[in-house]
Amino acid sequence: MQPEIITIVIPPTMWRDVGGDGSLLKCVISINGTLMHLEAMQVRYVGDPREQRPANPLHQADFDALCQFGSEGQFDTSEIDGKPYVLVATPFT
């Protein structure tokens, strides 16, 4: 049996633009009292199979590491200000 899905909507104004170009956004969230960094990396689609790549090539190494860690194909994306982003949550250390 599928448990209920909790929907979280983060307003665009809550995101901090890390590099000033909109390609990497960050905010802080708390889930059950655990503080987490939530990052949103903007992606673009390349080629006929529509492969995902980071919108800013400076984030390619981070995106490659993310793909090796937890990808079985394309990531689902979230739309922020009309652009597709891959979300990653990391607990504070």
Summarize pLDDT for 20-64 with one digit per residue, the tens: 999 999 999 999 999 999 999 999 999 877 889 999 999 999 999
Residue with the larger pLDDT of the pair 93 and 40: 40
Given a cut of 70, whether residue 71 has pLDDT beyond it is: no
pLDDT at 73 over 80: no
Q: What is the pLDDT of residue 74?
A: 87
Identify the H or E element spanning 60. helix 60-70
Q: Where are the domains of the chain?
A: 12-91
